Amino acid sequence: MGDKIIAQAKPKAEEGRHNLPFAFRHYSPGELGQALRKMYLIRRFEEGAEESYTRGLIHGTMHLSIGQEASAVGISLPLTDDDMITSTHRGHGHCIAKGAEVSRMFAEFFGKETGYCRGRGGSMHIADVSKGNLGANGIVGGGIPIAVGAALSMKKLKTGRVVVSYFGDGANNEGAFHEALNMASVWKLPVIFVCENNGYGMSTSTRRSTAVANVADRAAAYAMPGVIVDGNDLSDVAEASHAAVERARHGEGPTLIECKTYRHRGHSKSDRNRYRTKEEIEDWIANRDPIQLFEAQMQEYGVIDAAGIEAIRTDVEREIEAAIEFAKTSPAPDLAGLTRDVYTDLA
């Protein structure tokens, strides 16, 4: 990151307030600063996790969402702690956007007792029901029917709460996706389906795997609105999310939002990026980075200056350092509890 971001700032716009992008009309400077902070926190958390993995402190694999932060944070902006989400194998960002503590996430990755799953679950199983996060899911498309079930429950209990289901483009070809969308529409459930289309499911491009040009086109088959947004533009994402949340809360049923985005890193730690060009990756990093774009917008509309951005960064660095330290110094699970808090069949 660094100075590049500041250099992108354009002169302050002179348009009237009604011409400002949605997020700048709808949220206060403090709320926008918090959104930027969360995007940083996701980025720095994942960079910290990546580094810890390289140093052998974390085992297994992980799927990084670096480059997709605006989608996680923008979708969460209109949600309250009472609203719920289901997440994916690439879910760190969703989790942090919904209010998870990075110290407990690092502890989980490090296999410590203080982690969200007491060190038993790792990267792909973090849940935090106190913040409405029903959990990540290693099964592609697995979270979608869970979200529909939760939304049915929210409707029956007349809670006014909504459920967001994040999933990838790969999941839109799973049967569970189609069954879940149909049922949610028939029953007008308060659920928002969010496809983070990053162009690839592992090494297969969406073009080669999906019959329609846009995942959002599939909404028509289930009589719900299908909205395509620039998934790297926080304001566009928040606008679509806000409309979908309003619709869901008022009993009008589900919406399918497709966030067009890109993952900067490989699919997982073993990916050698043979299926996409270096130029393609570099172009997204240099020209479409969601954090750079949001910072530039914030400066353009006079919401923050370079010093304000620096203060947020410094604050996030402090939080990440403290979180890693907490994880390192936390106790490992007790050997006597080896079969506790896991599915075991001792018969």
Ligand X SMILES: Cc1ncc(C[n+]2csc(CCOP(=O)(O)OP(=O)(O)O)c2C)c(N)n1
Alpha-carbon span 223 to 159, nearest angstrom: 24
Residue 143 makes contact with Mg ion by CB under 5 A: no
- 286 touches 262 (CB < 8 A): no
* Residue nearest Mg ion (C-beta atom): 168
Half-sphere exposure of 261 (CA within 13 A, CB side): 32
CB of 80 to Mg ion, least distance (A): 28
Instruction: State how far the alpha carbon of 203 is from the alpha carbons of 5, 20, 139, 273, in Å.
Output: 31, 38, 17, 8
CB of 333 to ligand X, least distance (A): 26
- Counting residues that bind ligand X (by CB under 6 A) gives 15
- 199 touches 169 (CB < 8 A): yes
- Output the CA angle 185-242-101, nearest 5 degrees: 105
CB of 206 to ligand X, least distance (A): 8
- 94 touches 123 (CB < 8 A): no
Specify the residue, 121 or 201, whose C-beta has the smaller distance to Mg ion.
201
Which residues ranging from 75 to 94 are in contact with ligand X (CB under 6 A)?
89-90
Which stretch in 54-62, 135-143, 239-247, 321-329 sits in contact with ligand X by CB under 6 A? 135-143
Which stretch in 141-149, 168-176, 245-253, 278-286 sits in contact with Mg ion by CB under 5 A? 168-176
Alpha-carbon span 271 to 201, nearest angstrom: 12
Residue 260 makes contact with ligand X by CB under 6 A: no
Residue 267 makes contact with ligand X by CB under 6 A: yes
Cα diameter, the chain: 72
CB of 54 to ligand X, least distance (A): 20
Alpha-carbon span 238 to 74, nearest angstrom: 4
Specify the residue, 70 or 323, whose C-beta has the smaller distance to ligand X.
70
Alpha-carbon span 11 to 4, nearest angstrom: 16
Alpha-carbon span 10 to 152, nearest angstrom: 46
Applying CB under 6 A, among 135, 190, 201, 290 the residue interacting with ligand X is 201
Which residues ranging from 44 to 63 are in contact with ligand X (CB under 6 A)?
63
Which residues ranging from 174 to 233 are in contact with Mg ion (CB under 5 A)?
198, 201
Q: Which residue ranges make up the site for Mg ion (CB under 5 A)?
A: 168-169, 198, 201
Q: Which residue ranges make up the site for ligand X (CB under 6 A)?
A: 63, 89-90, 138-140, 168-171, 198, 200-202, 267
